[in-house]
Structure 1
Amino acid sequence: MLLLETLGLLAAHILSWVAVCHALLTKRDPRSALGWTATSLLLPVLGPLLYVLFGISRAQSRAEKIMRQRAAQEPEYAHPACPAEPPEQVPENIVRMAHLGRNLTDQHLCGGNTLSPLRNGDEAYPAMLEAIAAARNHVFLATYIFNAGHTGTAFTEALAAAAARGVDVRVLVDGIGTLYSWRKPWKKLAARGIKVALFLPPKLFPPNLSINLRNHRKVLVCDDIGFTGGMNISDDNIQSGRKSCVQDVHFRCLGPIVNQLRRAFLLNWGFCTGEYTPLPPGSGQIRGESHCRIVMDGPGNDADMLNDLFCGAVNTARRSVRIMTPYFLPTHDLMGSLRSAGQRGVDVRVVLPAKNNLPYVHWATFRLLPTLLNAGVRVWYQPPPFAHTKLLAVDGYYSQIGSANLDARSLRLNFELNMEVFDPAFHGLLAGHIDDAISRSREITLADLERQSLPVKLRNAACWIFSPYL
């Protein structure tokens, strides 16, 4: 009996130290590593079990495995050469931020672009359908959600008509995003000559039930016209005549940046299907004044491109930072950058939705607001309908648009696509949109937060504890 007890204690200590070693070697945050070390050592057996259940990032491990498997198949255009000198003259006032993005993405800016904001589905969907109808070579669509309804039907018919006239039509829908609608309009596409792929769909055999590693990117490329932003394919984005809807902004892109959008789609397509097709010839036609760059981010590597870009943009800000996002649970790094900007006198404004489709994220946000407000950051809640818009505007010249939210899910667990835009005129459009929302919104103060009842504060804190998983 004594021997069995000794062996049991020895096994428990070995388990604890295995968990400790794993935490020390894999955790980026020393506080997290310290917490799991203490838990594993002070709670034999139970501590390592808790670490296995909640401490190991299975999403990251799985993403790394998938990326290693795909690496051998990737074409040359997955990792194009990036010459030390930019292929075109970069204006002096944007050199610092342009250099940061180049180091993170291994891509230079491309000039000569025009971006047009399209508000809600009322403006975006007609423009997208018109571009599909005019396409003669290819139509590439990637979306997180492709819901049934009038909008889904309109896109299905437009895509089918394009395929019928010989256009190369491909549709990529996220595997979890397909669950948002009982009816699946995209299922009808394959029967009508359209190539359809699902991004890591959930399945029982072999088992894949993870809600992480989602393709949250939204891209449409119709020959030399591109679209990107945060808008899905859904009737929810139509405002006309609807009481319940979702506000959002999408963007029509013209110019050489469309070549980068096309490349992004084809890399996504190859990732899902294993079929990497050659890049169609792109257009270098100059269409405007914007300098742009696509940023593709996702798990499976050590880089945190979008998080680093957000931090870099805020850290270099000297006058103003405007942020609009539906979900606001920034990383520790970004929180520090926002606080630092507020403390050095930068006008930092954050606009969030007063009505949120994910109430637990909404509640968790309240828990972190005091540290921002104390640093001089100002926060507004805009009235319904729910605003799904994701915008960043800095210092009158730098902007970001795209699919990424400012939360752990977007910055750590999802595959996202954003676009950097260096253009004072475009910045003015985004800043004007954000300022218009502020004029209709309620600013939240420390006094508002202090007036919250104890049960509400405890609820907010309980949600905030789980913010890395929300």
Structure 2
Amino acid sequence: MKVPRPWTTGVSAIAALATVAAVLVTLNAVPAPKRVADPVGSVPAVHSDEFRRLQSALLGSAATPGNRVDILENGEEIYAAKLEAIAQASESITFETFEFWGEEVGGAFAQALADAAERGVTVHAIFDYVGSIQADREKFRQMEEAGVEMVRWREPSWYQLSRFNSRTHRKLLVVDGEVGFTGGANVADAWQGSPETGGYRDLHYRLEGPVVAELQSAFMLNWLNATRQLLYTPRYFPPLEARGELDAKVVNSSPREGKHRIRMMMLLAMAGAREHVRLATPYFYPDEMIMEALLDARERGVEVDLLLPAEGNYSTAFREASRNRWGPLLEAGVRIHEYQPTKYHAKLYLIDDHWVSIGSANLDNRSFRLNDETNLILMDSALATALAERFDGDLEHAKAYELEAWETRSLPRRLLGWLTMSIGWHL
């Protein structure tokens, strides 16, 4: 009998580990490819009844009437409104966020959630593991000891390694099943204050009306996935009366369901644009279909404005990967603006001063393919006009990025962008 040499056994072990690592990387980076792969062509205008019917059919449900939306700007307003709602809770709180850290903001929310649990409110919280890795463990211990039921989403474990790269990027808070919050802001000290004092520029939204049940359902799907516990009683889903006149529709996207609904939502809306597309996002990495949708809009004579963070306010490697794709957009007349005062973190998508999408999703492959995201669609001219005014106000603090700057960017910057693209940091 031939005895294997020790070095051959070691090589075999290394090869096996390399194979396992390659499989895990592939599973994390390439979810099921059930998404739109052909151009979205002739679509009714977004303000038409025909578009509403098409949108409802393709995205799974019709808009819910009778809702009210309050716009919250920057950390000062956003956190004050959320903490006030938590303090007034009497039945239940469900809370889901990507980033959670910081002594001031993270500490205030940990204390507020713990206080609510101690006074008898049922509190369920989902913190993304990667987004909350900076948090003081004492904050989690404080909440657990107070009775907060808590999940660290995708915390590393052997049975979840293939899904580790699939993060929850949602920003959800629902109080007593009656008041909901969503938008761009995480719960962290970087959002403290206002752009004038160094805090991130962001937008968030307080909602009342029947659509709050849909936000609650979005949370419940991830809670069920993480705990196998179904929360369904009136404590979480009370009867909801009309609180306003807005029609609202929640669109959830998850790598598990594979249909990439938010990407489909954006492709459909841009195809329905007739006058103006305004897109604000902190992370812009368009795939070929999004690029084609923007270029098609320009060919139809639609104005297109993109509002992004300025250099230095997000990863240089990601920015260069994104910037490598800007050439055809700039040549087609797409206007790209970079917000200067601080990091721009709002996610705001406006079509023809009528169609609005707000929520957690960025315009990049990670939000479209790998993250759990929740966005709302609201089709209302008054709300769209109010948000367009904020978009245009932010443009006053932005600098236009011109085609000449793109054409003369340095070779090292171009190479950094291509390297980033090739190793997939944009995913």
TM-score (structure 1 length as normaliser):
0.78
- Counterpart of 2:321 in structure 1 is 364
Q: Which of 99, 104, 118 is the aligned partner of 1:150?
A: 104
Please tell me whether residue 350 in structure 1 is matched to residue 319 in structure 2: no
1:337 is the counterpart of 2:337: no
Cα drift, residue 140 of structure 1: 0.7
AA at the equivalent of 1:462: L
Select 1:125's aligned residue among 62, 74, 79. 79
The residue number in structure 2 matching 1:69 is none
Partner SS, residue 96 of structure 2: strand
Give the direction of change, closer, same or farther, for the CA distance of 1:342–1:180 in structure 2 (3 Å limit). Answer: farther
Q: C-alpha distance in 1, partners of 2:184/2:174?
A: 15
Q: Give SS of 1:191's match.
A: helix
Instruction: Name the SS of the counterpart of 1:246 in structure 2.
Output: coil
Q: Name 2:395's counterpart in structure 1.
A: 438
Say which of 398, 404, 407 aligns to 1:447. 404
How far apart are the structure 2 equivalents of 1:349 and 1:55? 38
Deviation at 1:182, TM superposition (A): 4.7
**Is 1:60–1:300's contact at 8 Å kept on the other side of the alignment?**
no
Q: 1:400 aligns with which of 338, 344, 357?
A: 357
Helix, strand or coil: the match of 2:102? coil
CA distance in 1, matches of 2:136, 2:166: 22
1:197 equivalent in alignment to 2:139: no
Aligned to 1:82: none
Q: Any idea what the Cα deviations from partners look like across 1:92-113, whole Å, max 9, x if unmatched?
A: 9442342343223322210111
Match of 2:169 in 1: 216
- Check conservation: 2:82, 2:181, Cα contact below 8 A: yes
Q: Give, in whole Å, the separation in 2 of the partners of 1:441 and 1:424.
A: 25
Q: Which amino acid aligns with 1:125?
A: Y
CA 1:102–1:235 in structure 2 vs 1: closer, same or farther (change >3 Å)? same
Secondary structure in structure 2 of the residue aligned to 1:352:
strand
C-alpha spacing 1:460/1:184, structure 2 compared with 1 (3 Å): farther
Q: CA deviation at 1:163?
A: 1.5
Is contact 1:399-1:420 (8 Å) kept?
yes
Give 3-state SS (helix, strand or coil) of 1:179's partner: coil
Out of 104, 107, 113, the residue aligned to residue 159 of structure 1 is 113
The superposition leaves residues 218-248 of structure 1 with CA deviations (integer Å, 9 ceiling, x where unpaired) of 1000121110012111111112598543221
Distance 2:184 2:194 in 1: 19
Asked if residue 112 in structure 1 is aligned to residue 66 in structure 2, the reply is: yes
After superposition, residues 369-384 of structure 1 pair within 5 angstroms as 369-384=326-341
Residue 131 (structure 1) shift: 0.7
CA deviations over 1:119-171 (Å, ceiling 9, x no partner): 11100111111111111111111111221311222212221222122211111
- Match of residue 226 from structure 2: 272
How many residues end up aligned between the 2 structures? 396
Q: 1:53-132 alignment to 2 at 5 Å?
A: 53=22, 57-59=26-28, 93-132=47-86
Counterpart-to-counterpart distance in 1, 2:291 and 2:285: 9
Q: Which runs of 5+ in 2 are unaligned?
A: 1-17, 34-45
Q: Structure 2 CA distance, aligned partners of 1:289 and 1:97?
A: 20
> Residue 106 of structure 2 contacts residue 135 of structure 2 at CA under 8 Å; is this kept in 1?
no
Q: 1:466 to 1:290 in 2, by over 3 A?
A: farther
- Tell which deviates more after alignment, 156-165 or 425-434: 156-165
In 1, distance between residues paired with 2:358 and 2:320? 25
Cα distance in 2 for partners of 1:462, 1:372 equals 21
Take 2:48 and 2:128, find their aligned partners in 1: how far apart are those partners? 35
Q: 1:186 to 1:104 in 2, by over 3 A?
A: farther
| SS class of match (2:117) | helix
Give secondary structure in 1 for the equivalent of 2:264.
helix
Show the counterpart of 2:90. 136
Q: Distance in 1 between matches of 2:372 and 2:58?
A: 16
Amino acid at match of 2:339: Q
Q: 1:100 to 1:261 in 2, by over 3 A?
A: same
CA change 1:271–1:206 in 2 (3 A) is: closer
Under a length normalisation based on structure 2, what TM-score does the superposition of the two structures give?
0.86
Q: Is contact 1:256-1:282 (8 Å) kept?
A: no
> Radius of gyration: which is bigger?
1
Moved more, 183-192 or 164-173: 183-192
Using CA pairs under 8 Å that are at least 6 residues apart, name the structure with larger relative contact order, 1 or 2. 2
**Cα distance, 1:61–1:371 mapped onto 2, change above 3 Å:** closer
Structure 1 residues 403-412 or 194-203, which shifts more? 194-203
* Corresponding residue of 1:429: 386
Q: CA RMSD in A?
A: 2.7
Shift of 1:59: 2.5
Deviation readout 1:144-201 (Å, 9 max, x if unpaired): 1221311222212221222122211111111222213354523321111111112121
- Aligned to 1:186, what secondary structure does the other structure show? helix
On the 8 A contact 1:256/1:286 being kept in 2, the answer is yes
Helix, strand or coil at the partner of 1:177 = coil
